Amino acid sequence: MNYRHAFHAGNFADVVKHVALTRILVYLQDKPAAFRVIDTHAGAGLYDLTGDEATRGGEWRTGIARLMQARFSDEVRALVAPYLDIVRAFNPGRDLVAYPGSPLIARALLRPQDSLVACELEPKARRQLIDALRRDEQARVVDLDGWMALTAFVPPKERRGLVVIDPPFESRAEFERLASGFAAAHAKWPTGVYLLWYPLKERRAAETLAARVAAVANVGGEAKCLRVEFSVAPQTPEAGLVSAGLLIVNPPWTLAGEMKAILHQLEKPLGLGGAGRFRIDTVGG
């Protein structure tokens, strides 16, 4: 597996992940106390949809491009508005030419008292991220391995916030690193919100990951791990990435209902050759 942001920017997996991200941050805004976002594998921050990497796959055309044209109920339109407004801010013209990654989406939802720590080790992506966030006093780009960052930056001084863990999955060992990295971070900061992304190509690996994360999160018998999965087409050996998932630990109490309403109305526009399908459940609950 190899999930490099630049090749897949704005695809269905980004759409689902970033809708969830915005809903979590909107929820955190409800209290005046400051929060911090820690993005462990931040990527370049902003992706050129007219560039070679994005053009080669063209996945954004069946992802964010479709979402921008989709019709929603009044309820769902209000829920996706913060996300779509951020995307539109980077595309003031008629055409989609750029797509913001998770650090820029998070930055757009920070209040003056909030902050962002974005970790990126790959030199080219880090330079691009620094350029995107240059002279921003609320956002810090760190040249640090994302797995080390998990324990280095938690708990934040604010004691409120979100950790986004979205590794590139360049090897099969990433599932193990994701489970163990989360466990180490959770041991230091059990009350933080964690958003873990994973590709869904092997059901056994995904189920093992969910079980391990839930075993750590669900202390005291209380279910604290929400699973969200979305597929745009049936998984076959020849298919690329057609299914992806999120594990959200300590999710806002509103998130499950919001994501269910949103994803129900994303099945048709994001499906390939038919309607997509989604799954939302509490792991271990």
- Please identify every residue annotated as catalytic: 166
CA 194, 197, 200: angle at the middle one, nearest 5? 145
The H or E element containing residue 196 is strand 193-199
Cα dihedral across residues 31, 34, 39, 45: positive or negative: positive
Contact 128, 100 (CB under 8 A): no
The tokens for 186 are 């959770």
Contact 177, 147 (CB under 8 A): yes
Contact 209, 175 (CB under 8 A): yes
d(CA 94, CA 92): 7
Cis omega (within 30 of 0) for bond into 237? no
Contact 232, 275 (CB under 8 A): no
d(CA 140, CA 138): 7
The tokens for 176 are 């193990």
